[in-house]
Amino acid sequence: MRTQAQSVVINSLRKFIHTGSTSRLCNLIKNYHAADVASLMTSLTFKEKLSLLKTLQERDKQRAAEILSELNPEDAAELLKELQVGQISDLLEIIPSDDVAPILPHFPEEMQDSILANMEKEPSEEVQELLHYEEETAGRIMSTDYYALEQNTDVSDAITAIRLEGDVESGFYLYVIDEENHLVGVVSLRQLLFASPNTRLKEIMTRNVISVTTDTDQEKVARYVAHYNLVAIPVVDAERRLAGVVTVDDVIDVINQEATEDLYKMVALDSSDRIHDKPIKSIKKRLPFLLLSLATASLAPFVVSFFKETIQQVVTLAVFMPLIAALGGIAGSQTIAIMVREIAIGEADWPIARKALVKEMLVGIGNGIVIGVVLAILSYFLLQNFFFGLILGLAIVINLFIAALLGTLIPLVLKLLRLDPALGSQNLLTMCTDAIGMLSFLGLGTLLLRHLQ
Amino acid sequence: MRTQAQSVVINSLRKFIHTGSTSRLCNLIKNYHAADVASLMTSLTFKEKLSLLKTLQERDKQRAAEILSELNPEDAAELLKELQVGQISDLLEIIPSDDVAPILPHFPEEMQDSILANMEKEPSEEVQELLHYEEETAGRIMSTDYYALEQNTDVSDAITAIRLEGDVESGFYLYVIDEENHLVGVVSLRQLLFASPNTRLKEIMTRNVISVTTDTDQEKVARYVAHYNLVAIPVVDAERRLAGVVTVDDVIDVINQEATEDLYKMVALDSSDRIHDKPIKSIKKRLPFLLLSLATASLAPFVVSFFKETIQQVVTLAVFMPLIAALGGIAGSQTIAIMVREIAIGEADWPIARKALVKEMLVGIGNGIVIGVVLAILSYFLLQNFFFGLILGLAIVINLFIAALLGTLIPLVLKLLRLDPALGSQNLLTMCTDAIGMLSFLGLGTLLLRHLQ
């Protein structure tokens, strides 16, 4: 929740922007961390944001660059589009390349080329290198701003080199390379602090460095960093030459992004769908899936249509249809949630999957029997018909069993097909539990019809 | 997925455990990171794990402690319970206190006291201090293993002190305190590397240190670390005295844990429900909620029961009931997923909530109209009845609108009531969309009954 204090700052920001008090605006912003300014900006209109950016671009480029780094890349690009190409390049060349890489693809292709051409050679090449790698890989998110020195360098030269290099994004380790740039070791700054000045790096370095390659999936990078409790992980190419470093702050972004994706994919939402999107944009994103749902959700009515005659004779069956469907859906989505997270965090392998399948089926049957018996007893007292209770109870047992079976299998099969295990899994599940629930309930009803009338 | 190589290692582990080849077992384990050993152990039986632990406890206590730190705290406690109290204390006193704190509460209360009494004084007191703080707060997860020195210390003394202290968990920063232990600044090891030996810490330290207090919620701690791109955040008490440090690896655990909780709570799963639990344990955990679902899911049948006469006359209405319910549920769960993640990552405040509400309602109406029209046209051709199409179409528009409205409001209201915004939200939503869907569909059917026959 936005606090009182934050509202006051936002109001002052607004006032200074509208009255053109540029010095007071810059002074106000100086007091806040760039990340805080970026999050305050979400409360401003596009026009206000733009005029803030323009002011900073003229008066404090470094600050403008810091804030742009903290904005969501799409938003940053939207704002920058309003500036001239020269101005855009001026700003982007002082932003770390791993923060520019996600922004640039949001510009039209021609504009991208002219922005890169207008940037200084080194930052421009660095950005182009990152964009070379596939999206969602280590190469795409790595920073090219790190300390790396040849293994024969001595400690005193290393300290001088680090001092000259200045502060870098992943400044807790010094990576050690050989003459051909192969990663051979790592030295922590703590080790440098105690080593005698003329020791060579190769004498004090740790040799078995945990690293990833440029094409490693970002989710795997995150898993490594979390698993080994790292603050940064070096990225090497196919020949083990050092190419960059992924820092833990980027890993946290990846983890948050993947957690959102898991949740979204379960309900088949596009992972870019956000609260701040325009309604028409969200409608366009969600409509194809809802139309698909219309098709999958039509399976249950198709099943029910075969039992029209039964329903006509015992309308009470229709009354309980929603209950059967709802309980199957609820139990199944629990199983899916467990499987999706287990696959995301751990590495659910086949022996574990088999165990999970057996276990969830037992849970489904167990819960089904308890719920089924409760429901059977309740409906017996309500409807004074033993067979109705029996049908309801049996249908629930069957449906909870099917929900457990499919709730386990759907994410696993999706993973086996190299699709995302969460992808629309809830929708597929509902289709099956609805249809099978109706089939078992109305099927049993038809078989025992003469006892129900 | 478990690779071939991992299976080979697990088989060797098994063989050495069963044949009692303790030296070969220790040698094999020496080659792997403690985190890897911990994850390999998930494939062993409880007996195998225990005999591995006992072997290590005798031959390499340090290694045993490292591996216990990496296990899930509940599993670690289960294994330790099989040892004698003296042995448990011997192991726990060499594990960092922030890793012991989550393990200890899994022992019976009396056993906790004797374990603590048997531990050395310093680690025992540290653990007791952490356990003093509420669960899921900074105080509970912080490490008490960090560098902190008085502000008048000079750089050369600081370097000596750090060297004597040895490697610590959060060893990238040196926290600077005054004589009364108040946190006054921070110095990075990089700064120490370049500072001249007789400079005092207070001359080079950064003063505005971002910190949290011992009672800050762990989710908020994670949000700060992510927001400001930190690798560690100091924890102070109410008087701003330094109490500990939360490191980024613990923050990653918190983020993963909270993401799981979000997903689980949406489907009302207990966050401790795991694949490896025994079926009966999971049944017990899920049953209360399913019984509650039975109650909420009974609202729709209750609504339908008022329309028995209508259904008897036009059974085709019953055929389409599952379709109306399924689409409402699907659209609503999309809205819920967006709200839950937005509340988890950002700080959804009221102006944003209002915007979200209006937006989602527009999206619901927009999608409802498209789906409604498609469905109306299809059913017109299928059933040759204009009014049937009209009813289906209208019911879909109403249900998608209600799904959007409630999908936004349910998480927000739960948050307002200081409950978890995700808690069983999907269940509440299904109850409402099912009931309102049936009401609008069958209600319209009753109104237009004479056109349907």
DSSP annotation string for B56-75? HHHH-HHHHHHHHHHS-HHH
Residue type, A357: L
> Cβ contact (<8 Å) for A267 and B330?
yes
Tell me the mean pLDDT in the region B193-216: 92
End-to-end CA distance of chain A: 58
> Cβ contact (<8 Å) for B255 and A251?
no
| Among chain A residues, CA nearest to B253 | A226
Q: Are strands B173-177 and B183-188 parallel, antiparallel or unpaired?
A: antiparallel
> Cβ contact (<8 Å) for B282 and A347?
no
B residues 271-310 lying closer than 8 A (beta carbon) to A: 273-280, 282-283, 286-287, 290-291, 293-294, 297-298, 300-301, 304-305, 308
Of B220, B337, B36, B284, which Cα lies nearest the Cα of A1? B220
> Cβ contact (<8 Å) for B275 and A356?
yes
Question: Please, which pLDDT band fits residue A354 given cuts at 50, 70 and 90?
Answer: confident
Among B196, B221, B285, B333, the strongest candidate for a mutation testing the A interface, having the largest count of A CBs within 10 A, is B333
Mean pLDDT (chain B) is: 88
Minimal C-alpha gap between A27 and chain B (Å): 17
Q: Would you call A22 an interface residue with chain B, using a CB distance cutoff of 8 Å? A: no
The number of residues in chain A equals 453
Minimal C-alpha gap between A111 and chain B (Å): 31
Minimal C-alpha gap between B239 and chain A (Å): 22
Positive or negative, the Cα torsion across A367, A371, A376, A381?
positive
Domains of chain B: 4-141 (1.25.60.10), 147-256 (3.10.580.10), 297-452 (1.10.357.20)
Nearest to B249 among A229, A297, A349 (CB): A229
Minimal C-alpha gap between A435 and chain B (Å): 9
| Among chain A residues, CA nearest to B258 | A259
Question: Please, which pLDDT band fits residue B204 given cuts at 50, 70 and 90?
Answer: very high
Residue type, A223: R
Tell me the mean pLDDT in the region A187-213: 91
Nearest to B300 among A225, A322, A337 (CB): A322
- 3-class SS at B178? coil
Per-residue CA distances from B3 to A351, B6, B40, B227 (Å):
12, 5, 11, 36
Q: Would you call B315 an interface residue with chain A, using a CB distance cutoff of 8 Å? A: yes
pLDDT of residue B345: 67
Among A333, A361, A378, the strongest candidate for a mutation testing the B interface, having the largest count of B CBs within 10 A, is A333
> Cβ contact (<8 Å) for A192 and B193?
yes
- Taking CB atoms within 8 Å and a gap of at least 24, the contacts of A190-195 are A190/B162, A190/B167, A190/B171, A190/B189, A192/A155, A192/A158, A192/A159, A192/A162, A192/B193, A193/B159, A193/B162, A193/B163, A193/B189, A193/B192, A193/B193, A194/B159, A194/B163, A195/A155
pLDDT of residue A347: 56
The number of residues in chain B equals 453
Contact present, B331 and B378 (Cβ < 8 Å): no
What whole-number percentage of chain A has pLDDT above 70? Answer: 98
| Among chain B residues, CA nearest to A251 | B252
pLDDT of residue B152: 95
> Cβ contact (<8 Å) for B290 and A330?
yes
Residue A351 above 90 pLDDT?
no
> Cβ contact (<8 Å) for A356 and B1?
no
Question: Please, which pLDDT band fits residue B158 given cuts at 50, 70 and 90?
Answer: very high
Q: How many contacts (CB atoms, under 8 Å) link A and B?
A: 341
Residue A2 above 60 pLDDT?
no
Expressed in percent and rounded to 5, the helix, strand and coil fractions of chain B are: 70, 10, 25
**Per-residue pLDDT reduced to its tens digit, A32-45:** 889 889 988 888 88
Among A141, A167, A248, the strongest candidate for a mutation testing the B interface, having the largest count of B CBs within 10 A, is A248
Query: Residue B249 burial by CB count (10 A; 0-12/13-18/19+): exposed, middle or buried?
Result: buried
pLDDT of residue B349: 67
Q: Are strands B232-236 and B212-213 parallel, antiparallel or unpaired?
A: parallel
Q: Would you call A96 an interface residue with chain B, using a CB distance cutoff of 8 Å? A: no
**Alpha carbon distance A244, A232 (integer Å):** 10
pLDDT of residue A349: 67
Minimal C-alpha gap between B180 and chain A (Å): 27
pLDDT of residue B348: 57
**Alpha carbon distance B62, B93 (integer Å):** 10
Tell me the mean pLDDT in the region B240-257: 91
Q: Are strands A212-213 and A183-188 parallel, antiparallel or unpaired?
A: unpaired
Q: Would you call B73 an interface residue with chain A, using a CB distance cutoff of 8 Å? A: no
**Alpha carbon distance B386, A237 (integer Å):** 65
pLDDT of residue A1: 40
Minimal C-alpha gap between A19 and chain B (Å): 24
Q: Would you call A350 an interface residue with chain B, using a CB distance cutoff of 8 Å? A: yes
Residue B144 above 90 pLDDT?
no
Element (H, E) at A235: strand A232-236
A residues 132-171 lying closer than 8 A (beta carbon) to B: 159, 162-163, 167, 171
- φ and ψ of B198, to 5 deg: -100, 15
Of A438, A426, A405, which Cα lies nearest the Cα of A324? A438
Minimal C-alpha gap between B87 and chain A (Å): 27
Q: Would you call A119 an interface residue with chain B, using a CB distance cutoff of 8 Å? A: no
**Alpha carbon distance A396, B404 (integer Å):** 29
A-chain residues within 8 Å CB-CB of B283? 363, 366-367, 370
**Per-residue pLDDT reduced to its tens digit, A312-321:** 998 999 999 9
- 3-class SS at A300? helix
**Per-residue pLDDT reduced to its tens digit, B310-350:** 999 989 999 999 999 999 988 888 888 888 877 776 655 67
Question: Please, which pLDDT band fits residue A134 given cuts at 50, 70 and 90?
Answer: very high
Contact present, A328 and A433 (Cβ < 8 Å): yes
Q: Would you call B374 an interface residue with chain A, using a CB distance cutoff of 8 Å? A: yes
Nearest to B279 among A338, A359, A438 (CB): A359
**Which has the higher per-residue pLDDT, A169 or A377?**
A377
pLDDT of residue B353: 79
Among A31, A311, A341, the strongest candidate for a mutation testing the B interface, having the largest count of B CBs within 10 A, is A341
pLDDT of residue A49: 92
Q: Would you call A192 an interface residue with chain B, using a CB distance cutoff of 8 Å? A: yes
Per-residue CA distances from B231 to A60, A171, A301, A352, B169 (Å):
28, 11, 55, 34, 11
> Cβ contact (<8 Å) for B321 and A304?
yes
Contact present, A165 and A119 (Cβ < 8 Å): no
pLDDT of residue A415: 81
A residues 215-274 lying closer than 8 A (beta carbon) to B: 225-231, 247-249, 251-253, 255-256, 259-260, 262-264, 266-269, 273-274
* pTM for this predicted structure: 0.81
pLDDT of residue A4: 66
Mean pLDDT (chain A) is: 88
Q: Would you call A333 an interface residue with chain B, using a CB distance cutoff of 8 Å? A: yes
> Tokens representing A114?
């002219």
Query: Residue A18 burial by CB count (10 A; 0-12/13-18/19+): exposed, middle or buried?
Result: exposed
Nearest to A287 among B259, B282, B370 (CB): B370
- φ and ψ of A232, to 5 deg: -165, 150
Nearest to A194 among B163, B171, B283 (CB): B163
Tell me the mean pLDDT in the region A329-352: 78
| Among chain A residues, CA nearest to B4 | A349
pLDDT of residue B4: 67
Question: Please, which pLDDT band fits residue B1 given cuts at 50, 70 and 90?
Answer: very low
Among A169, A196, A321, A383, the strongest candidate for a mutation testing the B interface, having the largest count of B CBs within 10 A, is A321
Tell me the mean pLDDT in the region B239-244: 94
Minimal C-alpha gap between A101 and chain B (Å): 18
**Alpha carbon distance B376, B43 (integer Å):** 54
Contact present, A180 and A242 (Cβ < 8 Å): no
The residues with which A148 forms a beta bridge, in sequence order, are: A175
Tell me the mean pLDDT in the region B14-39: 88
Residue with tokens 């939503």: B429
Range name among A229-238, B81-90, B164-173, B208-217 with the lowest pLDDT average? B164-173
| Among chain A residues, CA nearest to B38 | A227
Nearest to B304 among A266, A269, A322 (CB): A322
> Cβ contact (<8 Å) for B256 and A260?
no
Q: Would you call B319 an interface residue with chain A, using a CB distance cutoff of 8 Å? A: yes
Positive or negative, the Cα torsion across B260, B262, B268, B272?
positive
Tell me the mean pLDDT in the region B36-54: 89
> Cβ contact (<8 Å) for A342 and B227?
no
SS3 of A358-374: HHHHHHHHHHHHHHHHH
A-chain residues within 8 Å CB-CB of B35? 227-229
The residues with which B148 forms a beta bridge, in sequence order, are: B175
Minimal C-alpha gap between B5 and chain A (Å): 13
Q: Report yes or no for ipTM above 0.85.
A: no
